[in-house]
Amino acid sequence: MSRYRFALRPKWILSHIFVLSLVVIMINLGIWQLHRLQEKRDRNARVTARSEEPVAQAGDLAAPGQYGKVGGLEFRRATATGTYLGDQQVLVRGRSNDSAPGSWVLTPLRLSDGTALVVNRGWISNSGEYDAVPKRFAAPTGEVTVTGLVRETETRGSFGSVDPKTGTLTDLARADVARLDQQVDEDLLPYVLQLQVQKPAIRAADPEPVPAPALDEGPHLSYALQWFSFSLMTLIIYPLILRRRAREIEREERNAALDAAAADEAEPDGGDPEDGAQLVSPAAPTGDPSG
């Protein structure tokens, strides 16, 4: 393990923490997508079960003001007969249809008992240019019978546009029955009916009915598998990066040692230059100097 001593340096420790945090985040994102998948499956089961129940009379499901009792009724099919209050219909801004911008048209339907039901007559394309329902989308006159899905009133969460609390509005940020109830003379039932069938029949010039909720599971499973795959790839690739770096350091150290050894061999002998040297005396004359 000595080859991985570099991994204990501060900058590498920070790298380990970052990678580990990244893996934890990706795993949690995958788990969150699985939770979203289960929520979608549960919702689909509720939609299927409730929409298969017998069609109920709208006034029998809840009384005006009973907003807290509608949650268990959403996606039930209901029917009602009455007369549209066309002069009191409003737009709900920012509703797309196949990515096209537009609005919903909400029209109160006055019932025989004097209460009214908010009917979502459908979607119109407006690209944000309207602040009231155009005249060409006027509600039909006379008695009509409507059948559709019960949808809960919408309320603002932590974010989103805020509608004025007072005054008569011609467009809303959301299908808020309580806010609409402030400007409609009749008492409104505490939910919206998403129109599917109307008698007399829906006209070609009427808003396009909003489709029933799709029962697909969405992309949550594929997203979860992607996050788990990213986590696994990180856990495989990061050790390989450490291994590669360890080999690079070993190679650098080995090359440095070879360079040092070569340098030592190339150095001249550093001893006393006179060591081992023999002093040679001038040659003595030979023979008789006189001869």
Cα pseudo-dihedral 177, 85, 170, 172, rounded to 10: 20
- Distance from first CA to last CA of the chain, Å, rounded? 89
246 lies in which domain range? 2-42+220-252
pLDDT in tens, the chain (291 residues): 577 888 889 999 999 999 999 999 999 999 999 999 999 999 999 999 998 999 999 999 999 988 877 878 999 999 999 999 999 999 999 999 988 999 999 999 999 999 999 999 999 998 667 889 999 999 999 999 999 999 999 988 778 888 899 999 999 999 999 999 999 999 999 999 999 999 999 999 899 999 998 899 999 999 999 999 999 999 999 999 999 998 988 888 888 888 788 887 777 655 555 555 454 555 555 555 444
Looking at the fold, whether 195 and 241 belong to one and the same domain comes out as no
Residues 125 and 93: their CA atoms lie apart, in Å, by: 10
Residues 190 and 145: their CA atoms lie apart, in Å, by: 19
Residues 239 and 263: their CA atoms lie apart, in Å, by: 36
Q: How many residues does the chain have?
A: 291
Amino acid symbol at 288: D
Looking at the fold, whether 227 and 139 belong to one and the same domain comes out as no
Looking at the fold, whether 23 and 123 belong to one and the same domain comes out as no
Q: Residue 185, Cα to own-chain centre: how many angstroms? A: 41
Could you give the number of structural domains in the chain?
2
Looking at the fold, whether 231 and 138 belong to one and the same domain comes out as no
Question: Would 49 be classed as within a structural domain?
Answer: no
Looking at the fold, whether 38 and 64 belong to one and the same domain comes out as no
Residues 210 and 266: their CA atoms lie apart, in Å, by: 89
**Residue that is last in its domain, among 165, 199, 233:** 199
Question: Would 179 be classed as within a structural domain?
Answer: yes
Looking at the fold, whether 166 and 194 belong to one and the same domain comes out as yes
